[in-house]
């Protein structure tokens, strides 16, 4: 079974600064997908960024980028130029490449507070 | 295009009552799932479906039933509500398994309280 671990329950960053959220995972599969989801106070789950394990290049989406270390099973999220609207819970998630359904395994989340 | 919709947004039940949480999507997605979110535990998969007429259990299926008679709808039934089922419930759908198809789109959630 896959597990996803987020060891930082809460983090704080000042506006315009850079912050990195950590995620580690465990799996026996050789190919898989990793995701970061954002959950603002509205409760809506929003996909931030996706990484396919067989792709060497780290994914980027505007101010969001990941540091994917497959051998270390690490998948951290870097938010550059933090904005007040980035305040949210962030969840790391995993889904395998095999199987019959797109089933996500989530970490316990990191609450990010962006301050002035 | 409404995406994934869930009703109700809030619900309070008494122990032993039954109810159905509704989920619908208008994106013609084959894959649909139900998750529950509890404080400090992230989201956990309850049941999922890979198409009309096909359902299977996830990580925490006990106390819940699902059915999928159409591609659009995937209701979650609580048979006899218990306080341990107090949670926020999310429905999600995706187009497929590979590449960009496996992005899951989430509904707005239902906050359920069982007294």
A42 contacts on B by Cβ (under 8 Å):
108
| CA distance to partner chain A, nearest, from residue B41 (Å) | 5
pLDDT band (50, 70, 90) for residue A101: low
In a mutational test of the B interface, the residue from A24, A97, A104 whose CB has the highest number of chain B CBs within 10 Å is: A104
* Cβ-nearest to A102 among B56, B104, B108: B104
For B14-42, the pLDDT digits (tens) are: 999 999 999 999 999 999 999 999 988 88
In a mutational test of the A interface, the residue from B23, B39, B97 whose CB has the highest number of chain A CBs within 10 Å is: B97
Mean pLDDT of all residues in B59-81: 96
Nearest one of A15, A3, A6 to A77, comparing CA atoms: A6
Q: pLDDT higher for A55 or A85? A: A85
Contact A45 B96 (CB under 8 A): no
Contact A107 B44 (CB under 8 A): no
Number of Cβ within a 10 Å radius of residue A64: 16
Sequence-ordered list of residues with C-beta below 8 angstroms from that of B11, at least 6 positions apart, any chain:
B19, B21, B110, B111, B112, B113
**Rounded to whole angstroms, how far apart are CA atoms B64 and B49?**
14
Distances (CA, A) of B41 to B53, B66, B87, B109, B110: 30, 23, 11, 16, 17
pLDDT band (50, 70, 90) for residue B11: very high
Contact B109 A43 (CB under 8 A): yes
The SS3 of residue A55 is: coil
In a mutational test of the A interface, the residue from B92, B104, B105 whose CB has the highest number of chain A CBs within 10 Å is: B104
**Rounded to whole angstroms, how far apart are CA atoms B35 and B58?**
9
**Rounded to whole angstroms, how far apart are CA atoms A75 and A67?**
6
Contact B58 A102 (CB under 8 A): no
For A1-55, the pLDDT digits (tens) are: 789 999 999 999 999 999 999 999 998 888 889 999 999 999 999 999 999 888 8
| R_g of chain A, CA atoms, integer Å | 14
pLDDT value at residue A96: 81
* Cβ-nearest to B40 among A42, A100, A108: A108
Nearest one of A2, A101, A106, A46 to B98, comparing CA atoms: A101
Place of tokens 């507070």: A113
């Amino acid at each position: 079974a896959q597990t996803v671990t987020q060891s930082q329950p809460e983090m704080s960053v000042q506006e315009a600064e850079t912050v990195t959220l950590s995620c580690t995972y465990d799996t026996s599969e050789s190919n898989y997908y990793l995701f970061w989801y954002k959950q603002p106070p509205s409760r809506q789950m929003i996909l931030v960024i996706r990484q396919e394990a067989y792709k060497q290049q780290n994914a980027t989406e505007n101010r969001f980028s990941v540091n994917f270390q497959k051998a270390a099973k690490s998948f951290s999220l870097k938010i550059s130029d933090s904005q007040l609207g980035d305040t949210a819970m962030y969840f790391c998630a995993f889904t395998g490449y095999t199987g019959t359904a797109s089933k996500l395994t989530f970490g316990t989340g990191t609450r990010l507070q962006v301050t002035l | 295009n409404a995406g994934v919709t869930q009703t109700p947004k809030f619900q309070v039940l008494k122990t032993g009552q039954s109810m159905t949480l509704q989920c619908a999507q208008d994106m013609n997605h084959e894959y649909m799932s139900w998750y529950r979110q509890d404080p400090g535990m992230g989201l956990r998969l309850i049941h999922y479906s890979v198409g009309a007429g096909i359902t299977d259990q996830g990580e925490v299926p006990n106390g819940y039933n699902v059915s999928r008679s159409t591609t659009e709808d995937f209701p979650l039934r609580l048979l006899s509500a218990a306080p341990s089922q107090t949670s926020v419930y999310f429905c999600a759908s995706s187009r497929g398994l590979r590449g960009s198809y496996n992005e899951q789109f989430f509904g707005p959630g239902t906050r359920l309280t069982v007294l």
